[in-house]
Amino acid sequence: MGDDCATNVHLSVQIRSLHNLIRRYLNANLSHETRSLTGVNIELIMFLARHKDEEIFQYDVERRFSITKSTASRVLGLMEKKGLIERRSVERDARLRRIVLTDTAMDMVNSIETNSDVMEEVLMEGFSCEDRARLNKYFQRMRQNLLSTGMVGGCHTHPNHEELK
């Protein structure tokens, strides 16, 4: 960053601080049944719920959340032990294991969604549609800047899937 853009606080510090505040807000408003879930569990449940009619595999989770294979394997294994997901073989290739939410996790989706929607309204209060679009574009550019270094994961895509949101 050039001197003409210098600020007292790095944007990355502000982003991390905002992330922490969002987590604390969400955790403070969790329903009773979702209190035992981690933030990652909640994000994965919502991702799988949004894509429930698609075949989602571990590599999709790795790509969507920019995490390593070992991290994805560990998180998914713990979620399986908690009874939140099941991994099911697919007919075309028994080596592939589709990730599916259990009924227990599906029952939590509405509560999580409501909490997330309320937080999003609070977070974006006073922002116009144009502000939101610009902010989203900036975050995408920052993410791409980091990915383009080749030093962090999340760059790989599977040929059968478009970018998952």
What one-character-per-residue DSSP string does 18-74 give?
Answer: HHHHHHHHHHHT--GGGTTS-HHHHHHHHHHHHTTTS---HHHHHHHHT--HHHHHH
Would you state the pLDDT for residue 3? 54
Would you state the pLDDT for residue 155? 44
pTM of the full structure = 0.69
Residues near 107 by beta carbon (within 8 Å), at least 6 away in sequence: 33
Q: What is the pLDDT of residues 89-126, one digit of tens each?
A: 988 888 899 999 999 999 999 889 998 899 999 999 99
Q: The tokens of 159 are what?
A: 């040929």
Distance of alpha carbon 109 from alpha carbon 95, whole angstroms? 29
Q: Which residues of the chain have pLDDT under 50?
A: 1, 155-163
Domains and CATH numbers, the chain: 3-147 (1.10.10.10)
